[in-house]
Chain A
């Protein structure tokens, strides 16, 4: 029997096990929406903006490890989803995005709502396809899922012209596909793995540098095994949080620009860096020429381009983290004899000393304002028993969340690292909630970031996605203000957010629940209250406005030279119209 392109689309999604589609309609995809409207296998989450659909699909993908799927219309639908594609590309998130296109006969004619979707998405997708013939649709969709989810994952776009969704073809879904120019390497070179094992046995001050690849590869168990076998401490990148249990004695927490003092010191003074699925981003290396001066580097990565892109590598191993770590552990098991713990003691003692010298710390505000760290720490402490999924936006609140949330398991942490996309957190949390309806899903949002995708409150309410959004409300683009404090003599150019809406009323207007904590003593209660509600909740927490996030390695600085507190000369400067922290805490923005 022949099916229309739209029907083939639906059949393919079912075969790929897609149960949720984040979408927003338009003229050229109406045929597809019409088919979706008449079925129950795929839950269609109607978003209020295509960027929201893209980030929701990302959240879904990060939480499940499967491809997230979204559907947008031609022209403006496509341009709106670009930010999410670019975000997914930078953070290697498996995504399949379907875009509508004008009928094939009109392509190139500047037709109504036409955009060059292939050209627009080329630099921000792993691959993209224009389907010109309905007979190619099924195999193209199969290839799209295959490319998005294998090797180094990433977003793939499938552009479907209107006539292709209307025309009919025989439906046959291929069982497998192969693409001759695409053959990711999964197993590492055995000889190289042996070299790595030897280097590990010889090292006195080794450090594991775990990245997002550990999570994509599902290699957390293997990483734990390796660390425990060899007693090597583990630094994590922002993208790796949860890959190694955050409260494990060998966990050093996050390294890099806002990483812990001891994670960065350990990296800097190590004699062997074992990078596992990490890409030596500049937020981690700092000044490359002075990065880990005494260390040999082992780099395990599935993407050869990641290796030696930024730093020199002594033992490169191209392969999947899980498979390579498994092999490495096996080789090491044959060599390691019980004394690793003693051997490692001086190094671990040294690290503990660094940790004692400069733990993560903050002081309560003498005027009684809520410190952002306090809020975030309490959210962590009061929710951790429920093993929540945590999304963040981008800014200071993101960094504090990274410091204070010591996640125990992978796929619990949704954040935008590579692109640093404000507005990511809320829709990403919703995507994860759509995947796991019964789970506690939190979003730690910035007041600036949240306002970039506020419209999705409607989606949360209508689609019953009861995420709990804590707005760390400093009435600032706090991260920008921090840089202005440190590098622009406190001139707060466009970082003060005047006329922030009353988020409690805003939540109410959308039919969500709005709560607020105005005093330190109310923080715990508001967290508990929010968790008890089975609806989307927006929790506005006005915090001390001028808090800065430390440690901090200035961009291009050396990893062992961290700024640990506000420099003494820093003069707190008030932008016109801003209220002093503490003064406005009860009346903030509602008066």
Chain B
């Protein structure tokens, strides 16, 4: 099963190669990896999608934690999380297919972000299933180019029953 691991790292040069080197050196898979700054400019967040049995995932998490430039590792699969990916799909459209392309974009709530007489570029955001689905449906029309961001994810905030919500006690 896919595992999504979110990793907070120092925002320094060379950190990406340490993480990538760890995966290649130890024979772990990387399905996708995305890196972007966090609110604190001294840190970046990597979202890594990987595969492996429990033992391997445990090693991956531990090995990541062991890297000195890694500040925090969260295995998102341990709780509920939301994941999203964005894809930009350039579809080559014959005149008779243009309406179909638009219809599909509409069904998936995707947007057309660029258009020429022979192409549409469609932007879609969603979970992997959704992205795979639209790609499959657009394929017969002719996909010219495809750019995907890789997945990013965030844990769902646990919703506690009202009674157990921590009370804010005013300082006396």
Contact = CB atoms under 8 A, between A and B. Distances in A.
Given A123-B21, A181-B10, A309-B59, A304 B68 contact: no
Contacts of A179: 68
B87 interface: no
A450 B65 CA distance: 39
Contact of A123 (B25, B65, B68): B25
Contact of B68 (A182, A303, A305): A182
A181 B62 contact: no
Contact of A304 (B17, B66, B67, B71): B66
Nearest to A132: B13
Nearest to B18: A122
Given A119-B17, A122-B21, A123-B25, A304 B70 contact: no
Nearest to B66: A305
Interface string A297-329: 000000111001100000000000000000000
Contacts of A123: 21, 25
A68 B62 CA distance: 28
Interface string B62-80: 1101111111000000000
Nearest to B71: A181
A303 B63 CA distance: 10
A267 B69 CA distance: 38
Contacts of B59: 305, 308-309
B92 to A, nearest CB: 40
B161 interface: no
Contact of A308 (B9, B21, B25, B55): B55
Given A122-B21, A123-B21, A308 B70 contact: no
Nearest to B72: A181
Interface in A110-157: 118-119, 122-123, 126-127, 130, 147
Contact of A147 (B55, B65, B68): B68
A499 interface: no
Nearest to A180: B71
A147 B55 CA distance: 28
B14 interface: yes
B63 A305 contact: yes
B14 A181 contact: no
Main secondary structure of the interface of B (DSSP, over half): helix
Given A305-B59, A305-B63, A308-B58, A118 B68 contact: no
Contacts of B69: 181
Contacts of B55: 308
Nearest to A123: B25
Contacts of A126: 68
Contacts of B21: 122-123
A158 to B, nearest CB: 14
Contacts of A147: 68
Find the residue from B25, B63, B66, B70 having the highest chain A CB count within 10 A.
B66
A111 to B, nearest CB: 19
Contacts of A122: 17-18, 21
Contacts of B18: 122
Nearest to B70: A181
Contacts of B14: 118, 130
Contacts of A182: 68
Nearest to B24: A123
Interface string B35-61: 000000000000000000001001100
Which one of B55, B68, B69 has the greatest number of beta carbons of chain A within 10 Å? B68
Interface of B: 9-10, 14, 17-18, 21, 25, 55, 58-59, 62-63, 65-71
27 contacts: A118-B14, A119-B17, A122-B17, A122-B21, A123-B21, A123-B25, A126-B68, A127-B68, A180-B71, A181-B9, A181-B10, A181-B67, A181-B68, A181-B70, A181-B71, A182-B68, A303-B66, A304-B62, A304-B65, A304-B66, A305-B62, A305-B63, A305-B66, A308-B55, A308-B58, A308-B59, A309-B59
Given A305-B66, A309-B59, 13 more contacts: A119-B17, A123-B21, A130-B14, A147-B68, A179-B68, A180-B71, A181-B9, A181-B67, A181-B68, A182-B68, A303-B66, A304-B65, A308-B59
